[in-house]
Chains A and B, each alone.
Chain A
Amino acid sequence: MTTIETSTALFLDDDGTVSATQLVAQTGLTPHEVELLVECGAIAPRDFAASTWTFSARCVVTARSARRLRDEFALDDAHAVAILLRFLQRIEELEREVRGLQARI
């Protein structure tokens, strides 16, 4: 009988940290696209002043959404992807608020 190894899933949330290199590797974005996401405020490094940026693991989720937008809608303007992502984040925030209100009533 074959033994199946059990792997542990990790939260992609604010507790975890990834380097800029890991963020690029885990999302399929280019370093330049990651910089544009930071510029437009879609993601933020833990410390802007640090010589090497690190990010919350939650940024992996955001950056992967940006990659999906880029690939699935064939968007070739990284700045447009970053702006679109901010709108999507706003929609998600509002949806979360609605869910929260529905949970409370």
Chain B
Amino acid sequence: MKYKDYYATLGVARDANADQIKAAYRKLARKYHPDVSKEAGAEEKFKEVSEAYETLKDPEKRAAYDQLGRHAQGEEMRPPPGWEQNFGPSFGESGFSFEDVDLADLFAGLAGRRGGPGAGARRANIPIPGQDYEAAVRLSFDQAYKGTEVEFDMSVPELDEQGALRRVPHKIRVRVPKGVTNGQKLRVPGKGGKGINGGPDGNLYLDIEVEAHPLYRAEGLDLYMDLPLAPWEAVLGASVDVPTPAGRVALKIPEGTQAGQKLRLAGRGLSRADGTSGHLYAVAKIVVPSVVDDRTKKLYGELEDASAFNPRAHMV
């Protein structure tokens, strides 16, 4: 097991009191929390200071940590003789190995064993709910549109039947329903950590990120896409072939369509299994040719002569 110097991480003396530890943590949290910091490596730093604070803020965990003794940061170490009996009675009975455990897991395990929700809960057979897990899931637009299945490999600390803490590999497959959007939160019931003494299993929470699509922009269940139109299609009206996530359709462009006008394709946005669905909006973009041949120039010239249209009439 590699030693981590939690006091150094928080920048406090080993005899710092609880208020000093909290003040140091708050200062570092404000500096490194990923929601407020733009510094490179801030998230990793925040995890380190959170891990240190989780242990040092809890008097029982701090006492257990202190009794590990002083070591250099990252030094391979084992707890001193008797530590298991004082802070984890079942470690010895189950032949617990410290070699394959992280210091953070060790102290997280103490919560379920001694000082967690209801101290001594494990020994008193009080049900303890399993830990919730969170995972970020990145989906393509097509996966979000059609629904998909995603698979995770998670390695999570769990207490076994003997109460020993183990890193347990989990493969979890989750059916993500169709119609998820960017930023959506989903819950997978019972797929978090195992409950103890009959406590309910935790949940797995998924943070959904949907990759940008080259054509479609999602806003809730509605989709928007740019629809380039030739000037004559906008003026005269037309029927144009447009892509939608469910396949190509013919869209009628009304006469006199203006740039920026939204043409609605009802029910062709994202949809959900419960029948709710959004619309697809084609936003008209009037595009002029960049290369103009002589005949086209001549025709535009004739149009200029014949037309009384003044787009700046309101500015006169």
Closest-by-CB residue of A relative to B179 is A11
- For B26, give its contact among A8, A61, A74 (CB under 8 Å): A74
Taking CB atoms and an 8 Å cut-off, the chain B residues in 173-188 that contact chain A are 173-177, 180, 184-188
A49 at the A/B interface (Cβ < 8 Å)?
no
Which B residues are in CB contact (< 8 Å) with A73?
26, 29-30, 33
A12 with B187, Cβ < 8 A, contacts A25-B129, A26-B203, A104-B283 known: yes
Which A residues are in CB contact (< 8 Å) with B25?
74
B206 at the A/B interface (Cβ < 8 Å)?
yes
CA distance A4 to B181 in the complex (A): 26
Which candidate, A31-39, A40-48, A95-103, is the interface stretch facing chain B?
Answer: A95-103
Q: Is the CB of B188 within 8 A of A104?
A: no
Q: Is the CB of B186 within 8 A of A5?
A: no
B53 at the A/B interface (Cβ < 8 Å)?
yes
Closest-by-CB residue of A relative to B170 is A4
Q: How far is the CB of B38 from chain A (nearest CB, A)?
A: 16
Q: Is the CB of B187 within 8 A of A10?
A: yes
Q: Is the CB of B219 within 8 A of A9?
A: no
Closest-by-CB residue of B relative to A102 is B217
Taking CB atoms and an 8 Å cut-off, the chain B residues in 141-191 that contact chain A are 149, 151, 171-177, 180, 184-191
Count residues of B near A (Cβ-Cβ below 8 Å): 46
Taking CB atoms and an 8 Å cut-off, the chain A residues in 1-60 that contact chain B are 2, 4-12, 15, 25-26, 28, 57, 60
Q: Is the CB of A9 within 8 A of B26?
A: no
Q: Is the CB of B172 within 8 A of A4?
A: yes
B55 at the A/B interface (Cβ < 8 Å)?
no
Count residues of A near B (Cβ-Cβ below 8 Å): 27
A74 with B174, Cβ < 8 A, contacts A4-B151, A9-B186 known: no
Which A residues are in CB contact (< 8 Å) with B175?
6-9
Q: A12-B186, A104-B224 are in contact. List 13 more A-B contacts (CB 8 A).
A: A4-B173, A6-B173, A7-B174, A7-B188, A7-B204, A8-B174, A9-B188, A10-B189, A15-B274, A25-B129, A26-B187, A72-B50, A73-B29
Q: Which residues of B contact A (CB under 8 A)?
A: 22, 25-26, 29-30, 33, 46, 50, 53, 57, 129, 132, 149, 151, 171-177, 180, 184-191, 200, 203-206, 217-219, 222, 224, 260, 262, 272, 274, 281, 283
25 A–B pairs (Cβ distance < 8 Å), ordered by A: A6-B173, A7-B172, A7-B173, A7-B175, A7-B189, A7-B190, A7-B204, A8-B175, A9-B176, A9-B186, A9-B187, A9-B188, A10-B187, A10-B189, A12-B184, A25-B200, A26-B187, A26-B203, A72-B33, A74-B22, A102-B217, A103-B217, A103-B219, A104-B224, A104-B281
